[in-house]
Structure formats: C-alpha cells, structure tokens
Amino acid sequence: MPDHVNGNREAPSLRPCGAVTFGAMETYSEREVPPGADPLTRQLLRQMVAGCMRLEPAELPDDDEDLVDHGLDSISTMRLISAWHRRGIEVGFPELMARPTLGHWWQLLSQERPTRTP
C-alpha cells in the first residue's frame, strides 16, 4: 500500500455505496408490519434481501454464496434485522455475518419463532 502524504499508509478504496440520510433510516426503522402480514417465507426472505441489495430476486447469488462478496453491506444487513425484529424475529448482526449466505440466514430465521405479535 502506498504511503499517504501525511506518512500514514493509504487504505484500499472501499466500493461506493448509496448515501442514507438519518430521516430515511428513521422512517424505515419505524415502519410497522401490518397485522395479518405474510409470515416470513424463503421467497419473502429472498425478496427482502434483494430489495436491500437493489437487485431482483432472480439476480441473488446461490444459497451457499457469500452475500458480502455480491455487494451486501452492514447498513443493508441492519435494515433487514430491523425489518425482522418488527416481525417479532430476534436475530443479531453477529449471527448473520458469521455466515452471510441465504441458506444460512434461512436456517437461522426459520428456527426463530416470533417473540411478539407484529
């Protein structure tokens, strides 16, 4: 890595991502799941992940491929966690990022029972 003009090592460039304003995050995290909403299914999981990654569900990687390698970032992951919490599914960032694949996530989320009625 080349040295920066201030003598520090220059960090590799991060890929650009869209800016998220505080207001947008606040609005997103305060949305409630309407009563009678569809339960979390494998198809809905794919739709939610695709939406956060700005992809079509058909463009998502295979169930065993690393989502981070395909562009998933921590902010998107936190949005998903927030959406699942609103559905009463308690799952944490470390659990998800230990193996960020659709297959592993479905395994985790399908074992969770809602802790409250959304």
Each residue of 21-78: pLDDT tens digit? 445 444 444 456 556 666 788 999 999 999 999 999 999 999 999 999 999 999 999 9
Q: In CATH, what number is assigned to the domain containing residue 67?
A: 1.10.1200.10
Domain annotation covers residue 4? no
Is the residue at 3 inside a domain?
Answer: no
pLDDT single digits (tens) 88-109: 888 999 999 999 999 999 999 9
Whether 91 is covered by a domain: the verdict is yes
| Total count of domains within the chain | 1
> Has residue 26 been placed in a domain?
no
* Domain presence at residue 5: no
Token pair for residue 117?
């009625």
Domain contains 2: no
Place of tokens 């390698």: 69
For residue 9, list its beta bridge partners.
3
Structural domain boundaries enclosing 105: 39-111
pLDDT at 19 over 50: no
Helix, coil or strand: residue 108? helix
| Cα–Cα separations (whole angstroms), residue 98 to 95, 104, 116 | 5, 9, 25
